[in-house]
Each structure stands twice: as C-alpha cells, then as structure tokens.
Amino acid sequence: MIKKKLLIFILLAIVSFSGAATNNKKINSTKSKFIKSLIKEMTLEEKINQLNNVLSGGDPDATAKKEAAWVKAGAGAVFNVAGANLARKYQKLAVDSTRLKIPLLFGFDCVHGMRTIFPIPLGGAASWDLTKIEKSEGIAALEASALGVNWVYAPMVDVCRDARWGRIAEGAGEDPYLGSKIAAARVKGFQGSGLNEGRSVASCVKHYAAYGAVESGRDYNTIELSEGTMRNIYLPPYKAAINAGAPSLMSAFNAYHNIPATCNSWLLKNVLRNEWGFKGFVVSDFEAIAELIPHGLAADSMDAACLAINAGLDMDMKSNIYIKELAKLVKMKKVKESAIDEAVANILGVKYDLGLFENPYLYCDSVKERTDVFTSANRNIARDLAKSSIVLLKNKDLLPISKSIKSVAVIGELANSRTDMNGTWIGLGRGEDPVSILEGIKSKIPHADVKYAEGSKVRSASSMDEALEIAKNADIVILSMGEYGWMSGEGQSYANIELPECQMILFRKLKKMNKPIVVILSNGRPLVIPEVADQSDALLETWFLGTEGGNAIADVLFGDYNPSGKLPVSFPESIGQLPFYYNQLPTGRPLYERPDDPLRSIYRDIPNKALFPFGYGLSYTQFKYSGLKVVPDGKDGLIASITLENVGNRGGEEVAQLYIRKIPSSISQPVKSLKGFQKIYLSSGEKQIMKFNVSKDDLKYFKEKEGWIFEHGTYNVFVGGDSENTVKGEIVL
C-alpha cells in the first residue's frame, strides 16, 4: 500500500513538473512571437531609438524638453525619474507620441534603499544573513516601484580586494563565494516571485566585469588579471546573479585584456551569451560608449558605436551615440541590422516580463507612493538589518553598557550627524531622515546624563575643550570616528585610508584621561586603524547604517541586541599591504613557517597579516568549535560536521564558516577558500551539530586551457568563526 501511494505521488509530481515546464514553454513562445512580430513592424529608426537610455532632466513639460524629445522619438528608457506622477507623465508621452506605443523603462540607482535607506551594501554583507538582505531589497523594490521606477541599477557585485577604491562600499567585499550568495539574494529580493507584480523591479547587475579589480584602487582605472583569476574570483557573483534571474547587466568602465568592457566581445558574447546563456540585455555605464575614444580604441563616435554594438552591448546610457550613428553604420554595412534586431529583442523582452505592454502604467500608482514608502514597517526592517550588520571588533568587558549608567560623554562630529548615516548612493533618502548616534543613545537611556561635544570634525580640527571637559565627568566615553558619508562611493578613491590626524589627536587626549572609551567607526571601507584597535577599550564597526542607524547602534551598545556581524573584507594593518585579502596564493617561502628566518614572504616593519581578518567578529557571548568530522558525500563532494557550543552566559548568533584547500593541486590554490557558512542562534549552554555540504561543483576551479576541473586527492577542511581561527580536518576524495 505504501509503495502504491509513493508511486502515485511520484507520477503526480512528474505530471505536475511536466505541466509547469509545458506552461513555461508556452509563455516563452508567446513572448517570442510577440517580440518578433513587433520588431517586424519597426523601422530602423524606431529600433535604434529603443537602444537609447536618456538621463531625465526633470518634468518633460518644463525643464526636460530635450529629454522629452528623445522620449517622443521612442527612446527605450529614462533614468533618474522618480515619483509616480512624473513617471506617468513620461510614460504617457512615450505611449501617446510613438507609432507603436512601446512603453519606457524607468531606471534608478537604488543601491541600498530608495527612500528608507538600509546599510550600505558592504555593511549589509557583514550581516552574513541572506534572508535579511533579500528582505531589505524587497522593501527597496516596493518603494522604488511605488515611486515609478521599474528598473534598478543594482546589485553591484564587484569583488574588491583594495580598500582604497571608494566603490568597495557598494559591494559585498573580497570573497567570490560570499559575494555570489549575496548577489543572488539581492536579485531575488528585487524581483520577488515575478517581474509583473507591480511591486517588483528588474535588477541591473553591475559592473560587468571585474571593476573592483582596478589597479591601486583608483576609480575608472585599468585592471590586469589572468583568465584564471577572472574566472575563479571575479566572475562568479555575476553568474550567480544571472542564475537568480537578473534580466540586465551594466558594463564596466574598465578594460580587460586591453579591451574596454563596453566593447569586449569575449565578455559580452563568449562568456555572457554563449557560455552562460544570458537572455536579457546589457546597458553601458554612464557615457561609457563615448569613453571608447579616450580609451584609444575609437577615433570618433561612429567608431565607438560600431565597436560597442558589434561586441554585443545593447543599450547606450546617456552618450546618445547609438541614436546618432547606428543608422549610418547600417547603411555603410559596418553594422548588420540583425545585430540591432537582437539588441532590441533583448530590451523588449524585459519590458514584456515587467508587464509593461499589458499595462504601461503599472508602476505609476500615486496611491502606493503614499502608502508603501517610508513606513514604520519598512523602517523596522531597516533597523533589523542594521543591527545585524554591526561588527564587534574589540571588547575589554566594557560592552554592553548598563542602562543604569549615570553619565555618558558622546564625542565626535559624526555622532551628531544624521545625513552621514545614509552613506553613499542614497536614492531618494533625505539628510534629515536618519536617527543619529546621539539620538539613538539618548532614547535608550533617557534618565542618564548624556552630554555631547564635537571635539573634532572628521577632516579638520576644532576646539577640544568642551569634549575633554564632559569626558572628565563621565562614567564612559563614546567616541565616534570615521569618514563622512560622501567619502566612499564613486569617485572617492583615497591613497591614504588612515583616520585623519585631527581625530587621532582627540583620541589620544581622551585616552590620557583613563576613561573607558568605546569607539564607533562610521565608514564605507576598511580603514587602517592599528592604534585605535590597540588603545580603545571597545571597538564597533558600524559602516553607514542608513535610516535606523542610530537606533541600531544603541541596540548593540546597551545589549538589546547581541552583535553578530562578521567582516566581509579584511582590515589591513598598513596601507602598504594593499591590495589585501585572505584567500591569497601561497608562496614557496610561507608566511607562518620558519618564523626566525627573515628570508620569507614578509614585511620587515609590520606583521604580514590582517589587523582584523575576513570573517572576523566578536559577540557578547563565546562560541566553541569541536569534533570536526569530514566524510565523502558519495558524489565527489564532502560533508563536514562540527559541534558548535555557546559557552558564554547569554544567547547569541554565530556565523560558522567552512573553508577548503586542495593540496597538492595541479595549479597553486589559495591558502583558504570559503565554501560554506551558516548563521544560527544558540542560547547560553546550547550546542548544535553544524553540517556543511560541499558539492563536487563547489570544489571545481578554472584552469587555463582546460576549463573548470575537479581533481581527486586530499582536501584540507577548515571550520571556525573567521578565516584565521579554525578547526582543521582532512579528507581524500
């Protein structure tokens, strides 16, 4: 009887799966027929217009008349339009003015929130909480769609190993595995269960490819990578985002193998289309087609258009070169009309999936703009992710602070700044929206004597007298240090990422008073802070946490939330170590062997290790790892199990991390590579066996001239709370 029921269940499952597959084929067939039919009706000029992404100048009836002319001509997309009524006005212009009534895409840089601002992406990555990250992007999509936006230029998935690059703030840090998981979570958050829901938006993954590898951390700079490094380190997050359903990508400014990504057919055709089977469209970055001229590949705008379209770049952002040059290039037979047809089909396919042909005004609902934006529910979700993003770097039994404390001195310009809590790329966030650190602290301990003094500005000195006076009479000093919110992001590369001397002078003066000092770092990148790390009594990395930042920081300071964040990027000991990352290749003279021998791969003046390593983060409790066991899974993969125990006196969350290394290998492998992580909550005294499944595919690596390969042999397995402090095991597969 049981076998009969099981057989019936299997047959029903097969029928159901077959039905779903058949239904998907019908949907795709209907979509394909619709788009082919529409393209047949289009003139060459109408096709080319669809490849144009116009920068909005405001209201098309007033300040944006030039942009309105492009829309009337049939432009494919407009970006920086925000507001349901404004979007409706543009959409009506497109639909009413064009012969075929093709609707517009409305693009916007929704990097970490639209109106409710979440932690910067690097901060959110520090949560290692894929569920919360996905949920935050769901709220960003809800607000963006209510404000007329249906296409967001996010997520940024560039792996970055050099903290001098300002745009490290926009990504998930230095690791391809963590970056891939977060890329997929962000795409799923933006797109929900379907693009035509009216509350989901199409994601645009950027910047394809390896923009985070720019030399010396200088924005827009060149990169120099082997194909193996590109494949093993930098490409995986893009592929993960595409596998999660991302329908568009943005090409990068940089060149790869001397060919800018904007016209790099290896990236845009060989890898993206032929290998990965990508069906969506690729848009250039801002005026990047025009930049092929200073890159030295194009003599003029006609050359630039020819190179880009023939390489597989579908849409031109802002430079308007396609709309000026493509028709001439077709007539000259330098560009086939079929190449333009393909680009148009890719763009129209995304519009179809968004439901815009059925209802062009799906994202132009002014009622949703009033009901779905900047709500208390949205802010609660922002606060939840913000708390999880804070990393406790040091604690000499000072935190959490008792709420019965009598007096607190809060010092530093950033502590009293709302606008800096937003960080970079703040969508439609407002400077007055966030809760400041000072406000968060005061709300948590309303009966305490909380005094504030600036002490020092971020980059220039001010009077320290008041700060030193309030510190003298306080039970504890909370010192806010770091960067202004605008000091990370695009165009914000710095050769020096140390804290400015004006802040350090204040820190040293306060330290001499022998008061317990909690340092709160607000920053969009790892900073070089060895003195602060050594001399502070407690140190919190809080990034830029967004709208609810001050409340989230107070939740951690006073113990309402036990910090659980882990670093998604290494903090270097010195600027001279950059670029710095945990998963480096070994040398023939290893760092940690023969410690008395100077002829090793070391610096002679500083420790050759991270100040705080990748994956690092403390808690108000302690966790113990023991009993690591590694067995084969029967499919050339492995299963690792380890006992995790909370040996402290309060409950807390821990991110257990698994790393592997194949040794020996046919090519040199990183000393460790992250291949799994789990975040769980354990009560005081509770223990749990953690299991990690690492598949054969997870163990593959790219070898030039051979492709992706798996090798049998010995694998080292490391499990622990960060990339350095691990329990080691071994298995032969």
Containing H/E element for 534? helix 530-535
Containing H/E element for 216? none
Ramachandran angles phi, psi of 631, nearest 5°: -135, 155
Q: At what angle do helices 301-311 and 337-353 cross, to 10 degrees?
A: 60
Please state whether beta strands 407-411 and 449-453 pair in parallel, antiparallel, or not at all (unpaired). Answer: parallel
| Residues whose CB falls within 8 Å of the CB of residue 175, separated by 6 or more in sequence, listed in order | 159, 568, 581, 582, 583, 614, 674
Q: How many CA atoms does the CB half-sphere of 224 hold within 13 Å?
A: 2
Q: Which residues pair with 317 in a beta bridge?
A: 53
Among residues 162, 285, 314, 537, the one annotated as catalytic is 285
Region for residue 627 given its phi and psi (left: phi exceeds 0; alpha: psi -120 to 50; beta: otherwise): left
Helix (H, G, I), strand (E, B) or coil at 105: strand
Please state whether beta strands 391-395 and 623-632 pair in parallel, antiparallel, or not at all (unpaired). Answer: unpaired
Active site residue 341: no
| Residue 541 Cα distances to 489, 516, 594, 620, 720, angstroms | 18, 18, 34, 15, 21
Ramachandran angles phi, psi of 448, nearest 5°: -85, 160
Helix (H, G, I), strand (E, B) or coil at 398: coil
Query: At 552, which amino acid appears?
Result: A
b vs e for 481-502, b when ≥16 Cβ sit within 10 Å of the residue's Cβ? bbbbbbbbbbebbbeebbbbeb
Report d(CA 670, CA 699) in Å as an integer. 12
Ramachandran angles phi, psi of 66, nearest 5°: -65, -45
**Three-state secondary structure readout of 262-331:** HHCHHHHHHHHHHHCCCCCEEECCCCCCCCHHHHCCCCCHHHHHHHHHHHCCCEEECCCHHHHHHHHHHH
The radius of gyration of the chain's CA atoms, rounded to the nearest angstrom, is 27
CA angle 381, 385, 388 (to 5 degrees): 145
| Residues whose CB falls within 8 Å of the CB of residue 440, separated by 6 or more in sequence, listed in order | 549, 550, 551, 552, 553, 554, 555
Report d(CA 316, CA 322) in Å as an integer. 6
Residue with tokens 């989230």: 552
Residue 146 near residue 365 (C-beta atoms within 8 A)? yes
Ramachandran angles phi, psi of 519, nearest 5°: -100, 130
Q: What is the DSSP letter of 234?
A: I
**Three-state secondary structure readout of 466-525:** HHHHHHHCCCEEEEEEECCHHHCCCCCCCCCCECCHHHHHHHHHHHCCCCCEEEEEECCC
Catalytic (active-site) positions: 285
